[in-house]
C-alpha cells in the first residue's frame, strides 16, 4: 500500500462538541462483570446491588460485661428495695459479644451489681427489656440492601460485606487499555544515555499508563513501533481484536507527513473527530474500530495529558458505571495579563499561593512540549474559546493540581532566575515537608512589579544601576514607592559569556559579539542580565543591532546554557553556575549581587522567616559554593531597608 497523503484538519470540533460526539458513541460501553474475593475488592465498582447474606449481628449478644437477666425478674428493684438474683438461674455472667442465654433479654453492667455470696448477686435498679443488648439484625438484616450498584468500595465497605457474610462480590472488571507509543525517533528509557540528536526518550507511554491506573484501569504498555504504515496497521488490528477495552495510540494524530493514525482508523473503522479547538491537545483524534474506542493521543506531553483527561478519563469511569469524579477548584486572582487565541479553548498551567489572604495565580510556560510546566504547576485555568485572553487581576476559576490546604503552605517567589532557588526548594522541604516554593521566572523588573501588585511573598532581583554601580536600590525607589521592604542578599555571583567546551570560536570578550560568524542568545527585556549586557555594550561603545541574536530571548540562565550546548547559539550571557552545570566554558565579565526583595507585609510570614533562616546557615552556603561561581559569604545580610519613601539611616 502506498504512503497516505498528508492529512489536514478539515472540520475541527469545539471541545464541548467533541465530548458530546465521543460520549454519544461510547456511553453504552461497559466492562464485563467479574466476581472477586471481597478482601481484594478495595476501590472496585459494584456491578449490581449487593445484599446481606447474614443478619448483623445474627444472634442476640451482650453489649456490655455483666450479667444477663430476664428483665421481668428485676422489676421493683431499687435503692431501698434491692433484689438478689441467683447465678445460673436468674442471672448469667456474660462478656461483651457473648450470646444471651436462652430466655434472657437484658444485661446489667458489672459496675451495677454487688456480689453477695458465691451464688448470689444484688441489684439496686431494675433492667428494661433489651438493655445493653445487640439484637439480631440491629446493624443489618439478611436480604437487606447493603451496597447499591456502581458503588466504589471503600475500606469500611469491605468490613460490612464480610460481616454480612458476603465473601465474594460482583464488580466491574477494570478497563484494559492498550497503550501504543509510536515514532521512529523514540528511544527506550533504559537507553537514554545513548540518545543521539533527533532521538527522544519515550516517556509518554509511562505517563499514560499511570493516568490509566489513576482511573481504575489496567494499562498494557507496548513496545515502540516506528512510523511505518503497514506495521502500525497490523498493530491496530491486533489491538482492537485483543481483550483491551480502549486503545491509545500516542503520536501520529496530527497532520504531518508521518502522522498516520487518522488513516489507520479510517481504513479499519470510523473517525469521529480529528482535531479539537483546545490548546494544548488540538491534534487529538477519536474513532471506533470494530466497535472499540480508539484515541489518537498527541505526541507533545502536555497535549497528551490534557487529551487523556478530556476524553479517556471520562470514558474509563463510564465503562465502570461511574460518573467522572469532579476535580477540586478554587477562585484565584490572575497575576498578569494572559493573551489567548480567539477560537481555541486554552488550558494554562499556573502556580498558586495565598498572598495577603488572596489566592494568586501566576501563569507558567505554555508550550505543549514543556512537561515541567505540569510538574511545577499548582493548577490549570481554562480560557474559553470566545475570549481573546484574560486581564491582569481577573478572578479566575482554577482546577487544583495540589490539595487546597497545600496552597496555604506555598511560598511564591517571582523575579529573576537563579540556580540557588532550586536549593531553597529542597531546603524548605527538609525543614517542613508541607512547604512548597513556587517560582516564576519573569526577570528582575517583573519581580518588582509582582511585589507592587502584592502577588508574591518575595522577589529575586539583580538590577544594576549603571550610574552608581549599585544594585536594586534605585529601581526600588522608582517602582516601589509606598511599599516598605528589605533587600536581603542571597549571594554574589559571576556573570559572563557561555561558550561551547574548548571555546571553538575563540571568543574572548564582549567585543567579539559583533562578529558576523557568531550567533548570540540573549535574556528577556527587564531581566537583570539584559540590563547588565546593555551596560557592558555601552561601555564598549557597541550598538545592540550589530549583534546577531540580540533579539533572541530566553527566560532562564539554564535555557541560555542549553541553547549554547545544543549548537543553537555560539554564545550567551548567563551565570557561571549554568555553564558549570552543562560543562560549558565560561568567560567572566563581572560579579554581581543577587538580592531577595522582601516586603514588610510578608516579612513575618513563618514561611518567609524559615527561608531567611535557611540562607544564613553554613549548610546552605556550602551547597551554594558547590554550584560554582557564587560567593555566599554574606547570604542573609541586610543590604537596605526601604521605608516606602526613603532608605533607613542604617543603610545610608
User: Tens digit of pLDDT for each residue in 169-203?
Assistant: 999 999 999 999 998 888 887 776 777 777 788 88
CATH 2.40.340.10, the chain: domain bounds: 340-403
Burial of 72 (0-12, 13-18, 19+ CB in 10 A): exposed
Of the listed ranges 151-160, 240-249, 366-375, 433-442, the least confidently predicted one is 366-375
281: left (phi over 0), alpha (psi -120 to 50) or beta: left
pLDDT of residue 368: 54
Is residue 4 over pLDDT 60?
no
Of the listed ranges 246-260, 443-457, 533-547, the least confidently predicted one is 246-260
Q: What is the DSSP string of 92-115?
A: EEE-TTPBPPTT--EEEEGGGEEE
**Average pLDDT in the 450-457 region?**
93
Return the sign of the alpha-carbon dihedral for residues 15, 16, 19, 20: negative
Instruction: Provide the grid cell at 207.
Output: 505517563
Query: SS3 sequence, 540-591?
Result: HCCCHHHCCCCCCEECCHHHHHHHHHCCCCCEEEEEHHHHHHCCCEEEEEEE
Is residue 544 over pLDDT 60?
yes
Is residue 394 over pLDDT 60?
yes
Tell me if 460 sits within 8 A of 444, measured CB to CB.
yes
Question: Under CATH, which architecture does the 15-29+175-319 domain have?
Answer: 3-Layer(aba) Sandwich (3.40)
For residue 486, the cross-strand partners are 598, 641
Is residue 372 over pLDDT 80?
no
Whole-angstrom Cα distance, residue 524 to residue 417? 11
User: 652 pLDDT band (50/70/90 cuts)?
Assistant: very low
Helix (H) or strand (E) holding 362: strand 358-363
User: 597 pLDDT band (50/70/90 cuts)?
Assistant: very high
For residue 145, the cross-strand partners are 51
Tell me if 440 sits within 8 A of 372, measured CB to CB.
no
Whole-angstrom Cα distance, residue 508 to residue 513? 9
User: 3 pLDDT band (50/70/90 cuts)?
Assistant: very low
User: 371 pLDDT band (50/70/90 cuts)?
Assistant: low
Tell me if 558 sits within 8 A of 584, measured CB to CB.
no
Tell me if 359 sits within 8 A of 333, measured CB to CB.
yes
Mean pLDDT of the chain: 91
Q: Residue 91 has what DSSP assignment? A: B
**E-strand stretches of 191-258:** 200-201, 218-221, 246-250
Instruction: Provide the grid cell at 211.
Output: 493516568
92: left (phi over 0), alpha (psi -120 to 50) or beta: beta
User: Which CATH superfamily, name and number, covers 340-403?
Assistant: MoeA, C-terminal, domain IV (2.40.340.10)
Burial of 206 (0-12, 13-18, 19+ CB in 10 A): middle
**Average pLDDT in the 85-105 region?**
94
Pairing of strands 458-461, 410-415: parallel
- Which residue, 391, 306, 392, is CA-closest to 348? 306
pLDDT of residue 5: 46
Pairing of strands 553-554, 520-523: parallel
Is residue 257 over pLDDT 50?
no
SS3 state at 448: helix
Is residue 251 over pLDDT 70?
yes
**Average pLDDT in the 399-428 region?**
91
Q: What is the DSSP string of 289-317?
A: ETTEEEEEE-SSHHHHHHHIIIIIHHHHH
Q: Where are the alpha helices (DSSP H) in 256-312?
A: 261-268, 301-307
Model confidence, pTM: 0.81
Whole-angstrom Cα distance, residue 226 to residue 228? 6
Q: What is the DSSP string of 403-418?
A: -HHHHTTEEEEEES--
User: 323 pLDDT band (50/70/90 cuts)?
Assistant: very high
Question: What is the b/e burial string over 166-195, where b = at least 16 CB atoms within 10 angstroms of the residue's CB?
Answer: beebbbbbbbbbbbbbbbebbbeeeeeeee
CATH 3.90.105.10, the chain: domain bounds: 33-56+138-172
Instruction: Provide the grid cell at 637.
Output: 545580610
Q: Which residues contact 260 (CB under 8 A, 6 or more apart)?
A: 4, 227, 229, 232, 252
**Average pLDDT in the 357-371 region?**
77
Q: Rg (Cα) of the chain, in Å, rounded?
A: 35
Whole-angstrom Cα distance, residue 316 to residue 327? 16
pLDDT of residue 2: 46
Is residue 344 over pLDDT 90?
no
pLDDT of residue 193: 73
- Which residue, 619, 613, 598, 607, is CA-closest to 435? 607
Is residue 252 over pLDDT 70?
no
**Average pLDDT in the 310-332 region?**
95
- Which residue, 287, 282, 208, is CA-closest to 250? 208
**Average pLDDT in the 222-248 region?**
93
CATH 2.170.190.11, the chain: domain bounds: 61-134
**Average pLDDT in the 288-311 region?**
94
CATH 3.40.190.290, the chain: domain bounds: 444-651
Whole-angstrom Cα distance, residue 294 to residue 530? 49
Is residue 253 over pLDDT 60?
no
Tell me if 521 sits within 8 A of 552, measured CB to CB.
yes
SS3 state at 507: coil
pLDDT of residue 36: 97
Whole-angstrom Cα distance, residue 157 to residue 151? 10
C-alpha separations of 299 from 248, 313, 392 in Å: 11, 18, 32
Is residue 92 over pLDDT 90?
yes
User: 476 pLDDT band (50/70/90 cuts)?
Assistant: very high
Of the listed ranges 5-14, 100-109, 415-424, 636-645, the least confidently predicted one is 5-14
Q: Which fold has domain 61-134?
A: Molybdopterin biosynthesis moeA protein; domain 3 (2.170.190)
User: 232 pLDDT band (50/70/90 cuts)?
Assistant: very high
- Cα dihedral: 127, 128, 134, 139 (round 10): -150
More confident residue, 10 or 565: 565
Pairing of strands 485-499, 520-523: unpaired
Pairing of strands 92-94, 66-69: antiparallel
Instruction: Provide the grid cell at 60.
Output: 442476640
User: Which CATH superfamily, name and number, covers 33-56+138-172?
Assistant: Molybdopterin biosynthesis moea protein, domain 2 (3.90.105.10)
C-alpha separations of 349 from 377, 400, 438, 461 in Å: 6, 10, 12, 24
User: 369 pLDDT band (50/70/90 cuts)?
Assistant: low
Whole-angstrom Cα distance, residue 279 to residue 258? 22
Tell me if 486 sits within 8 A of 454, measured CB to CB.
no
SS3 state at 22: helix
Domain 444-651 has CATH 3.40.190.290: yes
pLDDT of residue 650: 64
Amino acid at each position: 500500500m502506498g504512503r497516505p497523503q498528508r492529512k489536514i484538519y478539515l472540520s475541527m470540533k469545539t471541545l464541548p462538541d467533541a465530548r458530546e460526539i465521543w460520549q454519544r458513541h461510547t456511553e453504552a460501553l461497559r466492562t464485563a462483570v467479574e466476581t472477586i474475593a471481597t478482601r481484594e475488592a478495595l476501590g472496585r465498582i459494584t456491578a449490581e446491588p449487593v445484599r446481606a447474606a447474614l443478619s448483623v449481628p445474627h444472634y442476640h449478644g451482650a453489649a456490655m460485661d455483666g450479667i444477663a437477666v430476664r428483665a421481668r425478674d428485676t422489676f421493683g428493684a431499687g435503692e431501698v428495695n434491692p433484689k438478689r438474683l441467683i447465678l445460673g438461674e436468674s442471672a448469667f455472667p456474660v462478656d461483651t459479644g457473648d450470646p444471651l442465654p436462652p430466655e434472657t433479654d437484658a444485661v446489667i453492667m458489672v459496675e451495677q451489681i454487688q456480689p453477695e455470696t458465691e451464688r448470689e448477686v444484688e441489684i439496686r435498679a431494675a433492667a428494661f427489656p433489651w438493655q445493653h443488648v445487640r439484637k439480631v439484625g440491629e446493624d443489618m438484616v439478611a436480604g437487606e440492601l447493603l451496597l447499591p450498584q456502581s458503588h466504589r468500595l471503600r475500606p469500611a465497605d469491605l468490613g460490612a460485606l464480610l460481616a454480612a457474610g458476603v465473601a465474594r462480590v460482583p464488580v466491574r472488571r477494570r478497563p484494559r487499555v492498550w497503550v501504543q507509543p509510536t515514532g521512529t525517533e523514540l528511544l527506550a528509557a533504559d537507553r537514554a544515555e545513548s540518545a543521539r540528536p533527533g532521538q527522544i526518550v519515550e516517556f509518554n507511554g509511562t505517563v499514560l499508563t499511570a493516568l490509566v491506573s489513576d482511573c481504575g484501569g489496567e494499562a498494557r504498555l507496548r513496545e515502540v513501533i516506528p512510523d511505518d504504515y503497514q506495521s502500525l496497521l497490523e498493530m491496530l488490528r491486533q489491538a482492537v481484536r485483543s481483550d483491551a477495552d480502549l486503545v491509545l495510540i500516542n503520536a501520529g494524530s496530527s497532520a504531518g507527513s508521518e502522522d498516520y493514525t487518522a488513516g489507520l482508523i479510517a481504513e479499519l473503522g470510523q473517525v469521529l473527530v480529528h482535531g479539537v479547538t483546545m490548546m494544548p491537545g488540538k491534534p487529538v483524534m477519536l474513532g471506533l474500530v470494530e466497535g472499540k474506542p480508539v484515541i489518537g493521543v498527541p505526541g507533545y506531553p502536555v497535549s497528551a495529558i490534557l487529551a487523556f483527561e478530556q476524553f479517556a478519563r471520562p470514558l474509563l469511569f463510564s465503562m465502570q458505571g461511574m460518573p467522572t469524579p469532579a476535580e477540586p477548584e478554587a477562585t484565584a486572582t490572575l497575576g498578569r495579563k494572559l493573551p489567548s487565541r480567539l477560537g481555541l479553548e486554552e488550558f494554562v498551567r499556573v502556580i498558586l499561593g495565598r498572598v495577603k489572604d488572596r489566592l494568586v495565580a501566576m501563569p507558567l510556560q505554555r508550550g505543549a512540549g514543556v512537561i515541567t510546566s505540569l510538574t511545577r504547576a499548582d493548577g490549570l485555568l481554562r480560557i474559553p474559546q470566545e475570549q481573546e485572553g484574560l486581564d491582569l487581576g481577573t478572578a479566575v476559576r482554577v482546577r487544583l493540581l495540589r490539595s487546597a490546604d497545600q496552597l496555604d503552605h506555598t511560598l511564591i517567589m517571582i523575579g529573576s532566575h537563579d540556580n540557588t532557588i532550586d536549593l531553597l526548594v529542597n531546603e524548605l522541604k527538609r525543614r517542613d515537608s508541607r512547604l512548597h516554593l513556587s517560582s516564576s521566572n519573569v526577570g528582575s523588573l517583573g519581580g518588582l512589579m509582582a511585589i507592587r501588585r502584592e502577588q508574591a511573598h518575595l522577589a529575586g532581583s539583580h538590577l544594576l544601576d549603571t550610574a552608581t554601580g549599585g544594585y536594586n536600590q534605585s529601581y526600588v525607589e522608582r517602582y516601589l514607592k509606598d511599599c516598605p521592604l528589605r533587600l536581603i542578599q542571597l549571594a554574589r555571583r559571576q556573570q559572563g559569556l557561555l561558550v561551547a567546551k574548548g571555546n571553538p570560536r575563540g571568543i574572548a570578550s564582549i567585543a567579539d559579539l559583533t562578529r558576523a560568524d557568531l550567533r548570540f542568545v540573549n535574556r528577556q527585556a527587564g531581566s537583570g542580565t539584559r540590563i547588565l549586557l546593555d551596560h557592558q555594550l555601552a561601555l564598549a561603545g557597541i550598538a545592540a543591532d550589530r549583534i546577531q541574536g540580540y533579539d533572541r530571548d530566553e527566560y532562564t540562565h539554564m535555557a541560555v546554557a542549553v541553547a549554547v550546548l545544543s549548537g543553537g547559539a555560539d554564545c550567551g550571557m548567563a551565570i557561571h553556575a549554568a555553564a558549570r552545570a552543562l560543562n560549558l566554558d565560561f568567560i567572566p565579565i563581572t560579579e554581581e549581587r543577587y538580592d531577595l526583595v522582601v516586603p514588610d507585609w510578608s516579612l513575618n510570614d513563618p514561611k518567609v522567616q524559615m527561608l531567611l533562616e535557611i540562607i544564613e546557615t553554613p549548610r546552605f552556603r556550602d551547597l551554594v559554593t558547590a554550584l560554582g561561581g557564587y560567593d555566599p559569604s554574606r547570604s542573609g545580610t541586610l543590604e537596605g531597608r526601604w521605608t516606602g519613601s526613603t532608605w533607613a539611616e542604617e543603610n545610608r
